[in-house]
């Protein structure tokens, strides 16, 4: 079982799981290609314009900015002034609130961004809630060497990956104005307190 499988129960049965077996940071690096491949398989329940597909049951408010490749599934709410870019896949029953930004992110069923959130280069499991202002950062601007180096299950994982936000397990809750530093792996049902910081970087 991969790290992604252990954190997201529906990964293997999803269109993503059928196409990607790498670790989370490698999957994210190819997110645009994955989304483009899935676009070609969608049915008439989606309104497709270029490389953007939105399910006909989803509500898109005026002022939302959607840049492809992008798939937004059934019964979602895409609020005013939110932004999608860099290759995003949104499962069913999700909410991307006002002023929120998703960059190169895969988001599973029932997850919600309240408003004024940033999520970069990440995989979000099912039934996750990000309260207002919470951030999942994707680049180690604070370090001379920003390459991925994280502590997971007592081991150090290293990669040449420069941009990776987080793998967030099913059922996590991230409080208002909290920050998840790049390279985080959050176990299912993790609770990050308001104003909290999660930083799993292994210092050299």
Residues whose CB is less than 8 angstroms from the CB of residue 141 and which lie 6 or more positions away in sequence, other chains included: none
SS3 39: helix
Residues whose CB is less than 8 angstroms from the CB of residue 69 and which lie 6 or more positions away in sequence, other chains included: 32, 35, 36, 39, 51, 52, 87, 88
Question: What is the enclosing helix (H) or strand (E) of 4?
Answer: helix 3-7
Catalytic residue list contains 55: no
Give the active site residue among 7, 103, 112, 115: 115
Question: What is the enclosing helix (H) or strand (E) of 89?
Answer: strand 88-90
CB atoms within 10 A of CB 62: 7
Q: Which residues are catalytic?
A: 115
């Amino acid at each position: 079982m991969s790290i992604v499988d252990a954190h997201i129960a529906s990964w293997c049965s999803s269109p993503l799981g059928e196409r990607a077996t790498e670790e989370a940071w490698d999957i994210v690096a190819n997110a645009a290609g994955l989304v483009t491949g899935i676009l070609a398989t969608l049915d008439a329940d989606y309104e497709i314009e270029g490389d953007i597909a939105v399910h006909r049951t989803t509500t898109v408010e005026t002022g939302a900015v959607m840049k492809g490749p992008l798939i937004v599934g059934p019964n979602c709410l895409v609020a005013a002034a939110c932004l999608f870019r860099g290759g995003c896949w949104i499962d069913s029953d999700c909410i991307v609130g006002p002023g929120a930004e998703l960059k190169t992110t895969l988001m599973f069923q029932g997850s919600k961004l309240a408003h004024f959130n940033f999520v970069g280069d990440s995989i979000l499991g099912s039934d996750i809630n990000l309260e207002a202002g919470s951030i999942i950062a994707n680049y180690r601007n604070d370090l001379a060497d920003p390459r991925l180096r994280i502590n997971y299950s007592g081991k150090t994982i290293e990669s040449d990956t420069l941009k990776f936000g987080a793998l967030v397990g099913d059922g996590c809750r991230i409080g208002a104005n909290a920050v998840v530093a790049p390279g985080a792996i959050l176990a299912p049902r993790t609770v990050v307190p308001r104003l909290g910081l999660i930083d799993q970087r292994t210092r050299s």
